[in-house]
Amino acid sequence: MHSIEIKHTTRQIIALTKSNMMSRYRKTIAGFLWVVLNPIIMYAVQSFVFRKLLKIEVPNYSLFLLCGLLPWIFITMTMDMVTPILDLSSDLLKSFKMNPVVLVLSQILDNFFNFLFAFFIVLIPTWIIMGGEWKGVFFLPLILFSLVVTTAAVCWLLATLQVFYKDVKFVVSFLLSILFFLTPIFYPVDYVPENYRFLVSLNPIYALIEPFRFSIYDFNLSLLLKGLAKSYFVMITTTIISYFYWRKKKNEFYLSL
């Protein structure tokens, strides 16, 4: 795209993101507090079930669970919301001159700002109370960048696929419900039998969550750097796949809407 097109697209993304953020909780009782209430309620229920009923013994389990749960909520909620967005906006895309990326990125940014709000209101205070290692904080920008870019790349791919294959959103929802139990979110990797741990290493969502654990929950520079390298590999790979798939299909895109 030319520089003028990039500026125009950027302005559209910013304007639509603001609109999404303002309209999401309009006429609701709790309003923006739902951003915090949602992870808190999920955390409270899962913490009770997994620690009290299933007796998962992990030091500082509250912080351990939040480090996995908050990124998981952001990733899965964003995938669920963005996958059908282009397909559902077919009339808008056909009627107005708008780059499809505007719809995708504005929704992702809306969810990401909500995630950051919950992250700093819920997770960081918990981390401070439990005496977390300050060195890990300096790596958070790198971790968050990998999280949002990878999520954006995956969502762009899924939203494009949904235009051509209408059952993608159902497949994604089904796979995410299974992945929740296969991803070490509410239990440590050590609980996974050694002969099955290769499945964890192949899980791209856990590659994005793992650096949060080594940065905030149990700071370990060596493991954190390895986790970051893995997450950036996933980020680059998914971005390349999404880019080339879009280039291959963009000429057919409007015909399939």
Tens digit of pLDDT for each residue in 189-241?
A: 988 888 888 888 889 999 999 999 999 998 989 999 999 999 999 999 999 99
Q: Whole-number mean pLDDT of the chain?
A: 87
As a whole number of angstroms, the distance between CA 249 and CA 257 comes to 12
The residue assigned the tokens 């059952």 is 167
Please report which confidence band the pLDDT of residue 82 belongs to, taking 50, 70 and 90 as the band edges: very high
As a whole number of angstroms, the distance between CA 172 and CA 245 comes to 18
Predicted pLDDT of residue 150: 97
Query: Is the pLDDT score of 100 beyond 80?
Result: yes
As a whole number of angstroms, the distance between CA 136 and CA 158 comes to 32
Give the mean model confidence (pLDDT) for residues 128-133. 77
User: How many other C-beta atoms can be found within 10 angstroms of the C-beta atom of residue 103?
Assistant: 22
Predicted pLDDT of residue 26: 66
Give the mean model confidence (pLDDT) for residues 173-190. 91
Predicted pLDDT of residue 148: 96
Could you tell me what percent of the chain has a pLDDT over 70? 93
Tokens of 205: 């969502």
146 within 8 A of 113, measured Cβ to Cβ: no
| More reliable by pLDDT, 130 or 64 | 64
In Å, how far are 30, 91, 103, 237 from 36, measured between CA atoms?
10, 34, 25, 32
Q: What is the CA radius of gyration of the chain?
A: 19
- For residue 55, is it left (φ>0), alpha (ψ between -120 and 50) or beta? left
Please report which confidence band the pLDDT of residue 15 belongs to, taking 50, 70 and 90 as the band edges: confident
Following DSSP, what letter does each residue of 155-179 receive, concatenated? HHHHHHHHHH-TTHHHHHHHHHHHH
CB-based contacts of 158: which residues, under 8 Å, 6+ apart?
79, 82, 83, 168, 169, 172
- For residue 21, is it left (φ>0), alpha (ψ between -120 and 50) or beta? alpha
Global pTM? 0.89
Give the chain's domain count.
1
Of the candidates 51, 26, 49, the one whose C-alpha atom is nearest the C-alpha of residue 188 is: 51
Predicted pLDDT of residue 122: 81
Predicted pLDDT of residue 245: 96
Predicted pLDDT of residue 29: 60
Query: Is the pLDDT score of 62 beyond 80?
Result: yes
Predicted pLDDT of residue 31: 61
As a whole number of angstroms, the distance between CA 70 and CA 108 comes to 15
Give the mean model confidence (pLDDT) for residues 240-249. 95
The residue segments making up the domain with residue 208 are 3-256
**Cβ-count burial of 111 within 10 angstroms (0-12 exposed, 13-18 middle, 19+ buried)?**
buried
221 within 8 A of 61, measured Cβ to Cβ: no
